[in-house]
A and B are shown apart, each in its own frame.
Chain A
Amino acid sequence: MGTLLVWVIILLNFILQGTLFYRFSIFGVFPNTAIVIIVCFSLFSNKNKGASYGFVIGILQDILYGQALGIYALIYMIIGYCIGLINRKVFKDNLIISFFITTVATIFYIIMNIASLYVLGLEVSYSDFINISSIIQILYNSIISIFAYLYVIKMKKKGILKF
């Protein structure tokens, strides 16, 4: 039940992210709940499980929305793996941790997106990633991750979620 619920949440997030969440945009920026989920789930599991969460989320996004198959799978898998790596070294009852890690993860996501634009052969300039939209993305994701993290901790203590 615990592990199944994890995958159900991942699938549910995928379906809702493309349909419902894009309506909650602030200044044209949508919340990237995929990153939030990967951060919160990988913090409690090991690097392999974290990588697999990232991979599945990424490959679903690639198939349905992406142009080059595998970009998002790559980005999310690396994020999941790295977070799973630091699983043991982090004090987990602290909320600031989730804010900080989501910020770093979003920055990585933004940089990799710019890199993929470059690989697809388009010109990129500095203003593409140092602008208000990036900052809002980072803040939006990180604030959501605080709430999600609180919730995940509660569910884990009650044993409803198992990683």
Chain B
Amino acid sequence: MSRDRKKNKSAIVMVAIIIALITIVGATSNQREKLHVIEKWVGNITTPIQKSTTTGVNYVSDTINPVVHFLRVKRENETLKAEVEDLRDQIIKARLERDELEELRSLSYALNYVPEEENYRHVAANIISKNPGNWFDTFVIDVGEKDGIVLDAVVVSSNGLVGRVFEVGGNWCKVISIIDKNSSVSFQIMRNKSYKGLLSGSVNNDLTGYLFDPLAEVIVGDKLLTSGLGIFPQGVLIGEIVEVSRTPDQLLKSIKVEPSVNFKRLNKVLVYIPSE
């Protein structure tokens, strides 16, 4: 009899905990403004440990990788050399254009027209750990409140757009990457900035989306930039189109995009914080 009572008691406790958890899930499934203090502190304690582990792992793999992938490293070297040449030419061109821009800008101030310029502060960060579940693509970086990170700060890497910050702790914060199913980016085609559309991630970690204009002419190989509608600032490189097709209802043109950032080998990122 008492054993039955004990069994029932633990079943009741389980059900109560399950109901409590479901309530918490429901309450937090929309994006929250601030993390609870307890959560922040769990992160404050565990993230430094993870950071040292990641640093160690990165060091070992950086040492081992070139030895194992010798031929691939050699090929990458050749491609990089060619790219450097190309970039050097581009810098020279950009310098000339910048001088012209400076002149025009001082002219506009003189004419009393002040354009809307969003000033961003940027902070460099390392990726400490990555979501180990296979269904969401979020990761933790080693800057947080004390470095001035705020909600919706934009995260980029040297190759392009990475994601945005969706929760902030003391010395850490969580970033959701653009290839996560939950995230969406509005884009414009680099070749013709009037062609805009919407991209979102998927469970298979590729980017799919559609264009607003069904008559837009886009081809495989077109590069995509952020369009400035929404959270992300304008002009950040997202990736390249690899496939163009029509949505199942034949109304819109749908595209599949390969992101310009290699998410599997991402270590360092830059966070852009709007300073207002």
- A residues bordering B, Cβ < 8 Å? 14-23, 25, 28-30, 32-34, 47-48, 51, 55, 60-61, 63-74, 77-78, 81, 110, 113-114, 116-117, 119-120, 122, 128, 131, 133, 137
Contact = CB atoms under 8 A, between A and B. Distances in A.
Nearest to B13: A48
B182 A122 contact: yes
A77 B17 CA distance: 10
13 contacts: A15-B49, A18-B50, A19-B53, A20-B57, A23-B61, A28-B205, A34-B132, A47-B14, A60-B42, A63-B39, A67-B176, A68-B25, A113-B133
Interface residues of B, number: 44
Given A28-B205, A64-B43, A77-B17, A22 B29 contact: no
Contacts of B2: none
B136 interface: yes
Chain A interface helix/strand/loop/mixed: helix
B262 interface: no
A33 B61 CA distance: 21
Nearest to B49: A15
B132 A74 contact: no
B16 to A, nearest CB: 12
Interface of B: 10, 14, 17-18, 21-22, 24-26, 28-29, 31, 39, 42-43, 46-47, 49-50, 53-54, 57, 61, 128-136, 138-140, 166, 174, 176, 181-182, 203-205, 264
A117 B138 contact: no
A133 B134 contact: yes
A18 B14 contact: no
Given A17-B132, A29-B134, A70 B28 contact: yes
B141 to A, nearest CB: 12
B64 to A, nearest CB: 11
A64 B129 contact: yes
Contacts of B57: 19-20, 23
B241 to A, nearest CB: 21
B135 A113 contact: yes
Contacts of B174: 64-65
Given A20-B57, A81-B14, A67 B138 contact: yes
Which among A15, A16, A73, A122 has the greatest number of chain B C-beta atoms within 10 A?
A15
A117 B181 contact: yes
B129 A18 contact: yes
B53 A20 contact: yes
A58 to B, nearest CB: 9
A59 B204 CA distance: 25
A63 B205 CA distance: 22
Contacts of A70: 21-22, 24-25, 28
A78 to B, nearest CB: 7
A65 B133 contact: yes
Contacts of A55: 17
